[in-house]
Amino acid sequence: MAFAAFASTTAPTTDAPARRRSKVALLLLLPGILYLVLFFLAPLVSLILTSLQAPSEFGDIGMYSYAFRWENYAAVIEQYWPHILRSFGYALIATVLALAFSYPLAYFIGVTARRWPLLQSLMLVLVIAPFFISFLLRTLAWKQILSDESFLVTSLKAVSLLAPDAHLTGTAFSVIFGLTYNFIPFMTLPLYTTLERLDLRYLEAGNDLYASGFHTFRTVTLPLSMPGIVAGTLLTFIPAAGDYINASRDFLGGADTQMIGNVIEANFLVLLNYPAAAALSLILMTVILVIVGVYVKRAGTEELL
Amino acid sequence: MAPRPMPADPMIQQLIRQARQAQLGRRALLTGAGASAAALALAACSTGGAAQPTAAPDKSDSDKTLRWDNWALYIDVDDSGDYPTLDAFTEATGIKVAYTEAVDDNSTYYGKVKDQLALGKDIGADAVCLTDWMVGRLARIGYLQELDHSNIPNLGNLLPTLKDVDFDPGRALSVPWQGGLTGICWDKEQFPNGITSVAELWSNADLKGRVGVLSEMRDTMGLIMLDQGVDIAGDWGDDEFTVAIDELKKQVSDGQVRNIKGNSYKEDLVNGDTLAAIVWSGDIVQLNAENGDKWGFAVPEKGGTIWNDNFVVPIGSAHKANVEELINYYYDPAVAAEVAAYVNYITPVAGAKEAAMEIDPELAENPLIFPDDATLAKAKVFRTLSGAEEQTYGAQFQSILLGA
């Protein structure tokens, strides 16, 4: 199983005898190192250099030259702090919602359905099935389902669950909905791989010791599924914070639901303000690194990384 | 051993010559690698202020090909996916045309090719059709080749109103391909009396949250400024722009305008999210054809905008004369009418209406494809902006799109 990697908290340790450093090992590492230098380190350096550029003196729109303009960072934070906050807020809500939906689902597939292997495989296929259709098409389909004249919205209005002049597309609701929907499989699969290995005898032991079902869940199941929760939340939160499709005005978002990805896109493609786009990308990257670092440390699952 | 004789095909000869020139000794290779690494480092540091690129030498005489980048659904296509007018052109002139629907947005296309343009390199296209304001930018920076009008005798058929434009006086660098009007459309079922002014878009309470405007700054801001009595083609500045941008900001924050969109506004009209909007004429012709004449379209009394997508030859192209021949061909009124019958936009070729009358009288009568003089009189061109204006106005407009 490809996803087993998420579940194994203790990697098998090989106690091979200490070898003297051979050039062969270095040679074998070379392709990997080259790859990282070419496709990670070089772009990162270029990104940092771009983020510090200043407009060329006699240049036209989109022309910048090399400088050390640290003000670029202050300027983008001042202008776009609501988008930065909004991105992490939306990502957090979507992650919590995805966890709330995925945990019971993963528990059912991984624990309850153990007796029926066929059902188990079938449900796993159903979780993965949406990936057979493009992410963009699925999001566009939701835009149609949530549109003003759709069956859903007209029925909600008919039963007064929605005000007559209210709408769903272009609101924070539809953006968070889209994020949650699109990232649920990334939450469900790692959860499933940990819950699938849950030793049911622990639960029996809890029962034997007169613990209530909830108590057993809280003190046994939940801690044992922690690696899955951490992996799932990371796989959801990180891409959700940088997502720009769901919040895009062409999909589910509106003018006041734009996230940091949309700001970067606009600065890069329309305004040709490359330093601002690069600075925002680096800020996004740094904030995610800090949040994830603190989270993983608090969750106590360093082995996972 | 005697060298093998060169093959007869001139293209293969050219390739062999290039390959020979490219052969390098080991030392040259190493110096080259060092130099290119240094150049790469420099290029990473600077994206502007380079020397003016110069036009590539023309190879049109020996190389009868050209590559044309254009927007989607912007030329006649038959059922088998061929382009009848292009095939006829190849038959008549022997010039093979590689036609690509490579442009889906002016800014994105510019972002893709600007680095090659700055170096004067080939961008992979010899003719590109871009909108007025983008042509203005390319002309300002010096990324275009001058067209030889003596190779384009049919240019005499260009509509007189389009002969002198402020971004390209005398049409030295660009020639219109197709154009369109920006006006207002409305859902005819919900609003049988029509919505025909920008002020009405803002004031009609039934339209709350159901108004759409375009993410193309010059069209949306142009219509708003015209509604406020500004002559957008004339002399205006920051003050007029600020008044208009404040109005748009107010309408967005009040929720009258729900969304600001590019091409995807069509989906919102079809699914009913948008009931009235600032739109492009050609799209409404197409949407009405697909959805049963559901929308009305009008250029507001106070004015709408008119724009053109123009042929330009990028600085690195080696097939300028071939492109001139292509432009000349499409300025034949009969050919222009054939294209107009398919693309639903406004042709810049005088006499095309008469030619269209012979193909399809109904088409020739359609005021959105062949607008009458009264409509054209209301249509204004957004004046060309300087580089600095483009930057500041663009940033102000984007900040509304981003809700900042």
Residue B298, helix vs strand vs coil = strand
Do residues A60 and A87 share a domain?
no
- Are A287 and A171 within one domain? yes
Contacts of B70 (CB under 8 A, 6+ apart): B99, B100, B101, B102, B103, B128, B129, B177
The CATH classification number of B181-306+383-401 equals 3.40.190.10
Residue A283 lies in a domain: yes
C-alpha to C-alpha distance for B225 and B256, rounded to whole angstroms: 18
- Which residue of A lies nearest to B50 if distances are taken between CA atoms? A59
| Residue A6 resides in a domain | no
Residue A282 domain flag: yes
pLDDT tier for residue A89 given thresholds of 50, 70 and 90: very high
Residue B170 has a pLDDT of: 92
Q: Could you report the per-residue pLDDT of A252-274, keeping only the tens digit for each?
A: 998 889 999 999 999 998 889 99
Domain end marker among A69, A99, A117: A69
CATH of the domain at A125: 1.10.3720.10
Residues of B in contact with A62 (CB under 8 A): 47-48, 110, 114
Claim to verify: residue A46 and residue A99 sit in the same structural domain: no
To the question of domain B65-179+307-370 being in CATH 2.102.10.10, the answer is: no
Q: Which of A79, A266, A268 sits opposite B401 (nearest CB)?
A: A266
Q: Does a structural domain hold residue A174?
A: yes
- For residue A166, what pLDDT is reported? 86
Nearest CA distance, B259 vs chain A (angstrom): 6
3-state SS of chain B: helix, strand, coil percent to 5? 45, 20, 35
Nearest residue, CB atoms, B401 vs list A45, A60, A255: A255
Q: Got the DSSP string for A227-294?
A: HHHHHHHHHHHHHHHH--STTSTTTT--GGG--HHHHHHIIIIIS--HHHHHHHHHHHHHHHHHHHHH
Determine, for residues A255 and B403 on separate chains, whether the beta-carbon distance falls below 8 Å: yes
CA distance A109 to A117: 9
Using alpha carbons, list the distances in angstroms from residue B26 to B18, B30, B33, B36.
18, 6, 10, 15
If asked whether residues A271 and A153 sit together in one domain, one would say yes
Domain identity same for A88 and A171: yes
Comparing CB atoms, the residue among B141, B400, B404 nearest residue A79 is B404
Range of the domain at A55: 30-69
Which residue out of B40, B208, B215, B258 would a mutagenesis test of the A interface target, given it has the greatest number of A Cβ atoms within 10 Å? B258
- Structural domain boundaries in chain B: 65-179+307-370, 181-306+383-401
Say if CB B227 and CB B302 are below 8 A apart.
Answer: yes
| B135 close to B176: Cβ distance less than 8 angstroms | no
CB count in 10 Å sphere of residue B216:
25
Asked whether residue A9 is assigned to any structural domain, the reply reads no
The whole-number pLDDT of residue A24 equals 87
Residue A59 sits in the same domain as residue A131? no
Query: So what's the pLDDT on residue A35?
Result: 95
The answer to whether B312 touches B217, Cβ cutoff 8 Å, is no
**Which residues of B touch chain A, with CB atoms under 8 Å apart?**
44-49, 105, 107-108, 110-111, 114, 137, 140-141, 208-210, 215, 252, 257-262, 264, 267-268, 271-273, 387, 390-391, 394-395, 398-404
Cβ <8 Å between A61 and B215 = no
Share of chain A above pLDDT 70, in %: 91
Can B65-179+307-370 and B181-306+383-401 be said to share one CATH topology? yes
Whether residue A129 is found in the same domain as residue A54: no
| Helix, strand, or coil (residue B148) | coil
Residues with Cβ < 8 Å from A303, sequence gap 6 or more? Answer: A9, A10, A11
Q: Helix or strand or coil: residue A109?
A: helix
pLDDT at B56: 87
Same structural domain, A207 and A293: yes
pLDDT in tens, B66-93: 999 999 889 998 888 899 999 999 999 9
CB contacts, 8 Å: B44 with chain A? 45-46, 49-50
Q: Where residue A133 falls among pLDDT bands split at 50, 70, 90? A: very high
Q: Give the span between the Cα atoms of A133 and A140, in whole angstroms.
A: 12
Predicted structure pTM score: 0.81
Q: What is the pLDDT of residues B122-161, one digit of tens each?
A: 999 999 999 999 999 999 999 999 999 999 999 999 998 8
Q: How many domains does chain A have?
A: 2
- pLDDT computed for residue A256 by the predictor: 86
CA end-to-end distance (rounded Å), chain A? 19
**Closest to A98 (Cα-Cα) out of A216, A194, A190:** A190
In a domain, A75, yes or no: no
One domain for residues A58 and A86 = no
Q: What is the mean pLDDT of residues A188-216?
A: 93
Choosing among A87, A271, A274, which should be mutated to test the B contact, i.e. which has the most B CBs within 10 A? A271
| Residues A213-256 pLDDT 10s | 999 999 999 999 999 999 999 999 999 999 999 999 889 998 88
The confidence score (pLDDT) of residue A12 equals 47
Average of per-residue pLDDT values in chain A: 89
Q: Note whether A34 and A153 are same-domain residues.
A: no
**CA B351, CA B157: separation in Å to the nearest integer?**
7
Average pLDDT over residues A2-11: 43
User: Mean pLDDT per segment of 10 residues, for chain B of length 404 residues?
Assistant: 58 60 46 45 46 85 94 89 94 95 89 92 96 94 95 94 90 95 94 93 92 93 96 93 96 89 87 92 88 92 94 96 96 93 89 89 86 88 90 92 81
Q: What is the pLDDT of residue B18?
A: 57
**Residue B93 is encoded by which pair of tokens?**
């002139």
Query: A60, B48: Cβ pair inside 8 Å?
Result: yes
Say which amino acid occupies A299.
Answer: A
Residue A15 belongs to some domain of the structure: no
Residue of A nearest to B272 (CA): A149
Burial class for B18, CB neighbours closer than 10 Å (0-12, 13-18, 19+): exposed
| pLDDT band at residue A6 using 50, 70 and 90 as cut-offs | very low
Spatial separation of the C-alpha atoms in residues A25 and A21, rounded to whole Å: 7
Closest CA to B330 of B79, B128, B88, B102: B88
Instruction: Tell whether A238 is covered by a domain.
Output: yes
Specify the residue for token string 């034949």.
Answer: B332
Q: Which residues of A253-289 are buried (b: 16+ CB within 10 A; e: fewer)?
A: bbbbbbbbbbbbbbbbebbbbbbbbbbbbbbbeeebe
- Give residue A265's identity as a one-letter amino acid code: E
The DSSP H or E segment spanning B218 is helix B217-227
